[in-house]
Structure 1
Amino acid sequence: MFMEDRFDWEKFPEDQVRRFGNLKPSSIIIGIFILIIAIIILSSSFYTVNTDEAGVIKTFGAFSRITGPGIHTKWPWPIQTVEKVSVEKVNRIEIGFRTVGKDSAGNIIYSDIPEEKTMVTKDENIVEVEFIVQYIVRDPSAYLFNVDNPVETIRKTSWSAMRTVIASNTVDDVLTIGKEAIQNQTKDLIQSVLDRYNCGIRVVAVQLQDVDPPAQVKSAFDEVQKAKEKMDQLVNEGKRYYNQVVLEAQGEAYKIVKEAEAYKIQKINLAKGEVSRFEEVYRQYVKEKNIAKKQIYLDRMRSILAGINKYIVDPSVNLNIFLQQEKTEVIK
């Protein structure tokens, strides 16, 4: 009994083939179809959002919700679909040129877009402007649903903003000293327009790549720029020389003024000293007129006879004295 009920593994494949062979072809097709539908439903019900992305869920094509990084579930296709948008990646749009690839040496190849890069300045000069716009997506739902083609919208807005800013600057500003200001003005103008469109975009930077006059007149522009640079150099040299001479003159004038002030103080002090001395002599004169007169006489003679040879003659004693500086000689 036990031996008869034992399962025969050797006959199992044949039994299964015989059993499925008895199925109708339509039943097999329906089973396969149901299996495929089940696989599609299961595979479309789960999705993964990376750490730098946001998942935008659409229900029958309309916005439903936004999901963050991780594994999520949703209603299967075609009820719901998910579109992943990078919210941290800095995207780049090229205007006036396009990157088309690399050559055999690995150098990047660019292609010019003349209709985009030709612009007119405030003083009616033509310049060719190539620039890039960097942006990130800050609102995925607005980015996907508020405009039909976000990238093309950003490109056209950026091109229009740059033309507006270039038209408000002279060719000298565009080619030389005004590039940073032009970049900042264009960035602000692009952002204000995109905000009005509610595109969900934040402009990170606008960078000018090449700003040149047209090739037909580039040599003439280069000569003009060289002449301006030479003029600026001469002007700066003149200013340096002027400042040097002025500073030296100011220093000399300051020195003369200080010397004059010192001389004035010296003379004033000498005059005060003379006045004090005179007042002292006068006080002595008032007290003793004869003594004062004799003292004045002696002081005056001392100043007159200082430094000269002198003879002293005394006839009463027949004596002559010769006085010479640092030497005395008696002559009889």
Structure 2
Amino acid sequence: MSEREYEININPDWIKMYLGKIVLGLLILVGIFTAVKTVGPEEEGVVVRLGEFDRVVEPGLNFIFPYGIETMHKIPVQRQLKQEFGFRTESANQRSEYSKTAYGDESMMLTGDLNLTDVEWVVQYRIIDSYKFLFRVRNAEKTLRDMSEAAMRKIVGDHTVNEVLTVGRQQIATSVEVLLQELCDEYENGIRIDQVVLQDVNPPDPVKPSFNAVNQAQQERETLINQAEAEYNRVIPRARGEADETIQLAEAFALNRVNRARGEAERFNSLFEAYQQAPEVTKQRIYLETMEKILPKIGNKVITDEKGNNVLPLLNLDKKN
């Protein structure tokens, strides 16, 4: 059979039948592909029917009208998202790599005392309302980025460069977080701000050595002040304690002398009263008491008779038997 005879014998109805089956199969596959949607565990699906919001579906296997009648947007409502400013994370491994190239316009800003500073920060947020996130604001993530940059520039503009670089960093981050949440509520973009973190704050590269020298001088000044306060706290309390001790000893000595003087005066008055009642007895008692105090202090005593003229009994008086 020649090639011409083979072509003539092909039935056109068969071709239409086969083409119809192929088209039908393709339509079924496209219908299944466009109708079956899987929503992840951290997501929820927002179904739009002919361009209008219809419903929100939960995670799992879901079915929608095929062929573009309904479309689904998957929103990660259970995941914390973040936006980086002034840098980008190239790889998040054990040693993360960052890139600052071409992001200087985001991070370079003016402080309240008209100084430039390079501020890198991260905004961590969550989508809490997928409907508002999709339909209240056009391109909510781009809008959030613009709001974050505006809020940071506003807050940094209210502080001096020293506050931005040193002690005011936490306060600035907190203020930006509060202001950014207020803007999100005002715009109704369905976003909740979890945290604003100042990743790094530095002076511009041309003036960085001068800023470092100033910071070092300030740190040295703080160190000297702390050392002086430590020395003050070590010496002054000790001196005050010694002064208090001296004062207390003096007061105790004065009290002792006063009490002793009063006791001696009362003793003298008692003796005087006793003397007035019995002079001879009082004289004898005073004499004996005085001799009792004096005799133990004069050492060995030898008492002889006035008529005795022999000195031999006086020899070897210190000899111990």
Shorter-chain TM-score bucket reads 0.7 to 0.9
- Call closer, same or farther: CA 1:23–1:264 in 2, change over 3 Å: same
2:125 touches 2:193 (CA, 8 Å); kept in 1? Answer: yes
Q: 1:70 aligns with which of 24, 39, 60?
A: 60
Q: 1:77 to 1:293 in 2, by over 3 A?
A: farther
**Aligned positions of 1:166-205 closer than 5 A:** 166-205=156-195
- Residue 61 of structure 2 aligns with an amino acid whose one-letter code is I
Higher strand share: 1
Alignment partners' CA distance in 1, 2:106 and 2:121:
10
Match of 2:246 among 253, 256, 267: 256
Unaligned segments of structure 2, at least 5 residues: 1-9, 310-315
How far is 1:42 from its partner? 3.0
1:298-323 Cα offsets, whole Å, 9 max, x none, are: 44566577735899999x94469xxx
Residue aligning to 1:34: 24
Matches of 1:106 and 1:131, distance apart in 2? 16
**Contact 2:120/2:201 (8 A) holds in 1:** yes
Point out where structure 1 has 5 or more consecutive residues left out of the alignment.
Answer: 1-19, 321-326
Paired with 2:117 and 2:36, the residues of 1 have a C-alpha distance of 53
User: Separation in 1 of the partners of 2:96 and 2:58?
Assistant: 38
Match of 1:123, SS? coil
Normalised to the residue count of structure 1, the TM-score between the two structures is 0.80
Does the alignment pair 1:90 with 2:80?
Answer: yes
Is 1:56 aligned to residue 40 of structure 2? no
Opposite residue 78 of structure 2, the aligned amino acid is E
Q: How does 1:1-332 map to 2 (within 5 A)?
A: 21=11, 23=13, 25-26=15-16, 28-100=18-90, 107-300=97-290, 307-308=297-298, 317-318=306-307
Displacement of 1:21? 4.1
Q: Is the 8 A contact 1:99 1:111 kept in 2?
A: no
- Counterpart AA for 2:185: D
**TM-score, length-scaled by structure 2:** 0.82
Question: Do 1:57 and 1:80's aligned partners in 2 also have CA atoms closer than 8 Å?
Answer: yes
Task: Give identity over the alignment, percent.
Answer: 32
| Residue type at the aligned position of 2:253 | Y
The whole-number CA distance in structure 1 between the counterparts of 2:227 and 2:117 is: 31
CA–CA distance in structure 2, aligned partners of residues 187 and 107 of structure 1 = 26
1:23 and 1:164 map into 2 onto residues whose CA distance is: 75
**What is the distance in 2 between the residues matched to 1:58 and 1:290?**
133
Task: Give the secondary structure class of the aligned counterpart of 1:122.
Answer: coil
How far, CA to CA, are the matches of 2:274 and 2:261 in structure 1?
A: 20
Return the offset for 1:38: 3.0
Q: Distance in 2 between matches of 1:65 and 1:286?
A: 123
Q: CA deviation at 1:208?
A: 1.5
